[in-house]
């Protein structure tokens, strides 16, 4: 009985300790309402935060318009004239006719491409997306093909788009994943025109018939700094982390009943840009959940630190080199040359990087006679999906140390050479003496 009681107590203690440790390990991870989410570094492509990032199908709703905007920017100029088409006029809310009234925009009207881009990215006008599709590709079907060709070019595995505005009623093959959407967002943000428009908070647009409308960006975080005052105002628990003070510089919202609330947002702090994606979050009356989700994961990601994959001065590879100590003659030898990194090799510790991080090597043409501890022997290449980082490798032995290893051989060689020279000298003297004796006998 006592033994059973002791075993039970031990088991309970173990479970309690394990639970505490598990909680402690995950205590800082932000808990979000979104079903999936990701934060990537815009410049390096590194994944900082990850929650179900490859889960698909996830429905992008109006965040689809980031790809529509990119194709528009790649094929048109801001000053181009874009027609309001019959297909555009059939699109449901939100649309340009909600801004100016249905009687004030007809299929005979036009807009500048820049105003169409603003309508698409700020107001998220569904009809503007079809104006773009037909002006760029001719027909919506041809634009669908363009979208999916671009998706292939970006190497995305879990995405297929059908509509330029992201409306998915009765459509099952318009989908993406949080990771794929982050790549699309990053690519769109690299375009100067798209980047500029996404950063506009309020503006006006004009239709060729003279109608004017004023539009406001639906991204509520635009221009917002994630500081302590903001966190307190909206009730965000920063999970004991300091406020990042990062500022939202771009983004795109989305919602359908199938997709839930979606948000793409790009933040900047001290020149470093992070792109966040939250998908299938909640849409409440005040529309706060998805924005709070984004603020949490961005704030957490700015505080996240890389962890070492290899510490500085760690041996990461051995290279076998063959050489002849006597260069042109004599036996061939092999030597193992350890290669080390001189600084920490780091990565973000998350579920994706843990399972996918790969190492590769780019080595120069190493020769024993040119080994130097301070001269790079090539690179250690760390691959994390789209992110590639290189670290210089250095040998831990130099050509001088290899000479020392063979010092006895070289001493022996010198000795042998001296002996040979002595023998040759003695032989020459002996021959010379014999020659002199023969001359004397003749005379």
Q: How many helices (H) and strands (E) does the chain have?
A: 14, 16
pLDDT at 401 over 70: no
DSSP 165-182: S---TT-SS-BB-HHHHH
Residue 23: its pLDDT value, please? 34
Q: Phi/psi zone of residue 331: left (φ > 0), alpha (ψ -120 to 50 degrees), beta? A: beta
261-285, pLDDT tens digit by residue? 999 999 999 999 999 999 999 998 8
Residue 420: its pLDDT value, please? 66
What's the rounded mean pLDDT across residues 83-87?
97
pLDDT band at 400 (very low <50, low <70, confident <90, very high): low
DSSP 77-88: -TT-EEE--HHH
**Distance linking the first and last C-alpha atoms of the chain:** 126
Between 254 and 420, the higher pLDDT residue? 254
What's the rounded mean pLDDT across residues 12-40?
61
Residue 405: its pLDDT value, please? 53
User: What residues contact residue 363 under an 8 Å CB cut-off, 6+ apart?
Assistant: 319, 377, 378, 393
pLDDT band at 18 (very low <50, low <70, confident <90, very high): very low
User: What residues contact residue 375 under an 8 Å CB cut-off, 6+ apart?
Assistant: 394
The owner of tokens 């025109």 is 193
**Positive or negative: CA dihedral 37, 42, 48, 53:** positive
- Gap between the Cα atoms of 393 and 379, Å rounded: 5
| % of the chain with per-residue pLDDT over 90 | 71
pLDDT band at 223 (very low <50, low <70, confident <90, very high): very high
pLDDT at 307 over 50: yes
- Gap between the Cα atoms of 159 and 64, Å rounded: 11
Residue 386: its pLDDT value, please? 87
The owner of tokens 């528009």 is 72
Between 310 and 19, the higher pLDDT residue? 310
- Gap between the Cα atoms of 132 and 212, Å rounded: 20
- Gap between the Cα atoms of 167 and 240, Å rounded: 39
Residue 251: its pLDDT value, please? 98
pLDDT at 21 over 50: no
pLDDT band at 299 (very low <50, low <70, confident <90, very high): very high
Query: Which helix (H) or strand (E) is 155 found in, with range?
Result: none
How far, in whole angstroms, is CA 249 from its chain's centroid?
19
Sheet containing 358-363: which strands, arranged edge to edge?
A: 315-323, 333-341, 387-395, 378-384, 358-363
pLDDT at 214 over 70: yes
- Gap between the Cα atoms of 237 and 226, Å rounded: 12
147-181, pLDDT tens digit by residue? 999 999 999 999 999 999 999 999 999 999 999 99
pLDDT band at 326 (very low <50, low <70, confident <90, very high): low
The owner of tokens 């009809």 is 127
When the pLDDT of each residue in the chain is averaged and rounded to a whole number, the result is 87
pLDDT at 26 over 70: no
Lowest mean pLDDT among 235-239, 246-250, 262-266, 344-348: 235-239
DSSP 225-251: B--HHHHHHHT---TTPPP---EEEEE
Q: Phi/psi zone of residue 419: left (φ > 0), alpha (ψ -120 to 50 degrees), beta? A: alpha
93-152, pLDDT tens digit by residue? 999 999 998 889 999 899 999 999 999 999 999 999 999 999 999 999 999 999 999 999
160 DSSP assignment:
B
**Positive or negative: CA dihedral 196, 197, 201, 204:** positive
pLDDT band at 415 (very low <50, low <70, confident <90, very high): low
Residue 1: its pLDDT value, please? 44
Beta bridge partners of 110: 83
The owner of tokens 């990537």 is 40
- Give the up-direction half-sphere exposure of residue 155: CA atoms within 13 A in the CB hemisphere: 5
pLDDT band at 308 (very low <50, low <70, confident <90, very high): very high
What's the rounded mean pLDDT across residues 67-72?
98
Residue 5: its pLDDT value, please? 43
- Using an 8 Å Cβ cutoff, are 393 and 376 in contact? yes
User: What residues contact residue 386 under an 8 Å CB cut-off, 6+ apart?
Assistant: 45, 155, 183
Residue 195: its pLDDT value, please? 98
342-351, pLDDT tens digit by residue? 999 999 999 8
For residue 378, CA distances in Å to 320, 360, 374 come to: 15, 11, 12
pLDDT at 71 over 90: yes
DSSP 297-333: HHHHHHH---EEEE-TT-EEEEEEEEE-TBTTBS--E
- Using an 8 Å Cβ cutoff, are 350 and 52 in contact? no
pLDDT band at 231 (very low <50, low <70, confident <90, very high): confident
Lowest mean pLDDT among 18-27, 95-104, 167-176, 237-246: 18-27
pLDDT at 14 over 50: no
């Amino acid at each position: 009985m006592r033994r059973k009681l002791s075993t039970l107590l031990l088991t309970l203690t173990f479970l309690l300790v394990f639970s505490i440790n598990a909680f402690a390990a995950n205590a800082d991870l932000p808990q979000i309402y979104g079903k999936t989410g990701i934060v990537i570094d815009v410049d390096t492509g590194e994944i900082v935060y990850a929650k179900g990032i490859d889960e698909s199908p996830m429905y992008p709703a109006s965040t689809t318009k980031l790809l529509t905007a990119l194709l528009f920017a790649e094929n048109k100029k801001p000053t181009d004239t874009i027609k309001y088409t019959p297909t555009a006029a059939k699109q449901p809310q939100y649309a340009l006719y909600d801004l100016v009234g249905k009687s004030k925009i007809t299929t005979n009207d036009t807009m500048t491409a820049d105003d169409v881009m603003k309508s698409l990215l700020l107001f998220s006008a569904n009809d503007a997306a079809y104006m773009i599709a037909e002006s760029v590709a001719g027909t919506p079907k041809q634009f669908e093909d363009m979208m999916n060709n671009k998706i292939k070019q970006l190497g995305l595995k879990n995405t297929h788009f059908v509509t330029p505005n992201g409306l998915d009623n009765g459509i099952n093959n318009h989908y993406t994943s949080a990771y794929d959407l982050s790549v699309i967002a990053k690519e769109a943000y690299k375009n100067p025109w798209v980047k500029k428009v996404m950063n506009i908070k309020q503006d006006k647009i004009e239709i060729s018939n003279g109608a004017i409308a004023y539009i406001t960006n639906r991204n509520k975080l635009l221009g917002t700094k994630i500081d302590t005052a903001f966190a307190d105002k909206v009730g965000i628990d920063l999970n004991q982390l300091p406020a990042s003070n990062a500022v939202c510089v771009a983004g795109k919202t989305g919602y359908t009943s199938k997709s839930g609330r979606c948000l793409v947002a790009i933040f900047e702090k001290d020149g470093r840009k992070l792109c966040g994606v939250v998908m299938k979050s909640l849409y409440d009356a005040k529309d706060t959940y998805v924005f709070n989700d984004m603020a949490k994961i961005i704030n957490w990601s700015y505080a996240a630190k890389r962890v070492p994959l290899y510490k500085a001065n760690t041996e990461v590879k051995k290279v076998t080199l063959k050489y002849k100590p006597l260069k042109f003659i004599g036996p061939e030898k092999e030597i193992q040359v350890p290669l080390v990194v001189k600084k920490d090799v780091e990565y973000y510790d998350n579920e994706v990087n843990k399972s996918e991080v790969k190492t590769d090597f780019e080595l120069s043409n190493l020769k024993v006679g040119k080994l130097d501890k301070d001269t790079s022997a090539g690179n250690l290449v760390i691959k994390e999906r789209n992110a590639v980082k290189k670290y210089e490798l250095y040998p831990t032995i130099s050509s001088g140390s290899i000479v020392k290893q063979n010092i006895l051989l070289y001493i022996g060689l010198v000795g042998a050479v001296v002996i040979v020279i002595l023998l040759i000298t003695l032989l020459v003297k002996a021959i010379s003496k014999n020659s002199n004796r023969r001359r004397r006998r003749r005379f």
